[in-house]
Amino acid sequence: MLDIKFVRENPEIVKQNIKNKFQDAKLPLVDEVIVLDEEIRKHKAEVENLRSQRNKNSQLIGSLMREGKKEEALKCKEEVTLINDRITILDEELGHLETELKKRMMLIPNIIDKSVPIGKNDTENVEKERFLEPKEYDFEVPYHLDIIEKLNGIDLDSARRVAGNGFYYLMGNIARLHSAVLAYARDFMINKGFTYVIPPYMIRSSVVDGVMSFSEMDQMMYKIEGEDLYLIGTSEHSMIGKFVGQILDKSKLPYTYTSYSPCFRKEKGAHGIEERGIYRIHQFEKQEMIVVCEPEDSMSWFEKMYSYTVELFVSMGIPCRTLECCSGDLADLKVKSIDVEAWSPRQKKYFEVGSCSNLGDAQARRLGIRVKGEKGNYFAHTLNNTVVAPPRMLIALLENHLHEDGSVDIPEVLWPYMGGTKRLEPNK
């Protein structure tokens, strides 16, 4: 959510930003917000004047009573009653105006960084850099489910009977590999100086409103019926929520956390074969990183954070690239975002395995996360990034370390987490 003062003073900048995000239907919101803001300020000024007049009248009543001027005192009391009635009406109107203002302000997208490429959707995202040479085999790489099934690593039929489509049972060494990747990612981030956290897996609606846009919430979140709770789609939600309503000590910034959680997502819509299996599912586990920092430090943290994900993938011998998200592909709260994509030898292309986002002060403004400064309090900046999400990571790892006979090499960095197992052998 933007600062209303910024919108008031820079309406054309806000409108151009909306155009850059190809959301022209939202343009009227800017003018509506300016009109509502003006009405709110008029109401507040009138209330302030009335309260001042009421205070003067109240003092005057006492003086008149002491002087024995009862009739004049009674007239003053009647004026005070009328003033109170008017203040009550104005307060009710003010509450309605402020609700309408907030409703519109929550829909206006955050101002994107000047470096963000302008484009309509993800087809216009811009490649930034590649790491390791893409692998190509002289044999056909099977679909990832076929690789895992040959390793006795998955049971989809039982999962469908228990929970429906979009769920799975991981089995044996594949399940162990899944856990090994998470454990390695946890230790990798701890060694980068991040504090390890296991957060709540459910959050209140007020936190949901603070960390994401309404459209994202509808597409992603599962609501707990009968309770003011949602299942998290990523631990970033509860991790940023950790700071709700707080005034942070400047000397303790930045807060750097790496959090583990299961994640729950609706994943609406139809998807192709490559996005079935364990690519796009309703429940998965993820290691995340979040940073809460000074505004001037957020871009340098942004660069560090996605570089950590790249370093993690490279350490496991998985070719990857970074892709800068264009304006039309950015969620409304984001200032700038970069996806990390891994190479798929089967598809002979890169696919998304993580995303790093700088949200500026958008989440902090919605959740009231401030820093105590020498010249007054100000909003912190928040960032988040996927360290690793093993379902997709497993696809990348299995395809990039596959042998023609169906066996899979385990990257050396994972050997200690696999009890020394260096290769997965297929079912004979």
For residue 54, how many C-alpha atoms fall within 13 Å in the half-sphere facing its CB? 14
Q: What percent of the chain has pLDDT over 70?
A: 97
Query: Could you tell me the CA-to-CA distances from 304 to 43, 291, 308 in Å, in that order?
Result: 47, 11, 6
Mean pLDDT on 115-143: 95
**Across 62-66, 229-233, 342-346, least confident range:** 62-66
> Which token pair is 382?
């928040």
DSSP label of 327 = G
> Which token pair is 301?
């943290």
> Which token pair is 42?
């008029």
22: left (phi over 0), alpha (psi -120 to 50) or beta: left
Q: Could you report the per-residue pLDDT of 312-341, keeping only the tens digit for each?
A: 999 999 999 999 999 999 999 999 999 999
Report the 10 Å Cβ neighbour count for 88.
Answer: 10
Same structural domain, 231 and 369? yes
Same structural domain, 48 and 147? no
pLDDT, averaged across the chain: 93
Report residue 275's pLDDT band, with 50, 70 and 90 as the boundaries: very low
Query: Could you tell me the CA-to-CA distances from 366 to 102, 210, 334, 361 in Å, in that order?
Result: 10, 5, 13, 9
Q: Could you report the per-residue pLDDT of 107-122, keeping only the tens digit for each?
A: 999 999 999 999 999 9
Q: Residue 200: exposed, middle, or buried by beta-carbon count in 10 A (0-12, 13-18, 19+)?
A: middle
Same structural domain, 317 and 193? yes
Whether 282 shows a pLDDT value over 50: the answer reads yes
Whether 44 shows a pLDDT value over 50: the answer reads yes
**Across 4-13, 26-35, 61-70, 162-171, least confident range:** 61-70
Query: Domain boundary at 56, 72, 105, which?
Result: 105
Cβ(385)–Cβ(289) below 8 Å = yes
> Which token pair is 145?
């489910």
Residue with tokens 């910034």, as numbered in its chain = 253
Same structural domain, 376 and 290? yes
Report residue 280's pLDDT band, with 50, 70 and 90 as the boundaries: confident
Between helix 27-66 and helix 11-20 the angle, nearest 10°, is 150
267: left (phi over 0), alpha (psi -120 to 50) or beta: left
Closest CA to 339 of 383, 300, 386: 386
**pLDDT number for residue 91:** 94
**pLDDT number for residue 72:** 83
Domain that holds residue 411: 122-424
**pLDDT number for residue 165:** 87
Own/partner contacts of 50-54, CB < 8 Å, gap of 24 or more, are 50/83, 50/86, 50/87, 50/90, 51/87, 53/83, 54/80, 54/83, 54/84, 54/87
Same structural domain, 295 and 413? yes
Report residue 65's pLDDT band, with 50, 70 and 90 as the boundaries: confident
Predicted TM-score of the model (pTM)? 0.90
User: Does residue 116 lie in a domain region?
Assistant: no
Same structural domain, 179 and 239? yes
Q: What is the CATH number of the domain that holds 27?
A: 1.10.287.40
> Which token pair is 317?
């011998």
